[in-house]
Amino acid sequence: MGLTFINALVFGVQGNTLRALGQDTPLHQFLAGAAAGAIQCVICCPMELAKTRLQLQDAGPARPYRGSLHCLAHIYRREGLRGVNRGMGSTLLRETPSFGVYFLAYDVLTRALGCEPGDALLVPKLLLAGGTAGILSWLSTYPVDVVKSRLQADGLRGAPRYGGFVDCVRQSYRAEGWRVFTRGLASTLLRAFPVNAATFATVTVVLTYARGPEARPDGDAAPAAPSGPGLAQPSSL
């Protein structure tokens, strides 16, 4: 439910920010992506809080939450707005640079792969670029995600353990060593490739056909990537 709004917000903000910055450069791609990542935290943080709480609650009729909205309402009644936004600081630390890397990597990869309109291998190239960008994005900030998840789950079973982001890092490292910050990385990367490959390819195809033949170079009906020479840009959103 949350991802529907997040993706719409991310691509819309990234595109309009890139257009406002003017020139399409690697630095501007990073800045536009970072801006999109920061703004979508408004939805992402409460969504992931609810997801974490729902995944960790005990099964059976005694479970405290019936669904994501009920979970957020329950947290709001007990902890107020601050409780609903628990982990917002760590979410910003994760999302802002990771989305900058995400869009920068996709732009660089589509140019390197030569994603041009009319290329018979355009869609496979877009899938490869999108999936790889997703992996690089997660690798860039994964330890922050581990800390964020621990902070959002803190206090679910018993008294809270962590006094904040730095305290969580210190306690986690002291108890489990540096490997704790890579826990779950393999499964995250296995998910990241197909999800982000499909996301970028779908955005590209939808943008291309929504604009009609007149918006495509030489009237070519082939999908155009949101970056690369001669291709459609998300900044047109």
User: How far is Cα 181 from Cα 155, in angstroms, rounded to an integer?
Assistant: 20
Q: What is the pLDDT of residues 23-52, one digit of tens each?
A: 889 999 999 999 999 999 999 999 999 998
Q: What is the mean pLDDT of residues 198-213?
A: 79
Residue count (the chain): 237
Q: What is the mean pLDDT of residues 115-126?
A: 82
Q: What is the pLDDT of residues 51-105, one digit of tens each?
A: 988 888 877 777 888 888 999 999 999 889 998 999 899 999 999 999 999 999 9
Q: What is the pLDDT of residues 147-189, one digit of tens each?
A: 999 998 887 777 888 989 999 999 999 999 999 999 999 999 9
Nearest-CA neighbor of 87 among 156, 14, 16?
156
Residue 204: predicted pLDDT: 80
User: How far is Cα 103 from Cα 194, in angstroms, rounded to an integer?
Assistant: 16
pLDDT above 80 (res 211): no
User: How far is Cα 90 from Cα 85, in angstroms, rounded to an integer?
Assistant: 11
pLDDT above 80 (res 216): no
Radius of gyration of the chain (CA): 20
pLDDT above 50 (res 229): no
Residue 213: predicted pLDDT: 59
Residue 121: predicted pLDDT: 86
pTM exceeds 0.85, yes or no: no
Residue 226: predicted pLDDT: 55
More confident: 146 or 121: 146
User: How far is Cα 19 from Cα 40, in angstroms, rounded to an integer?
Assistant: 18
Give, as one character, the DSSP assignment of residue 59. Answer: P
Residues 6+ apart with CB under 8 A from 195: 134
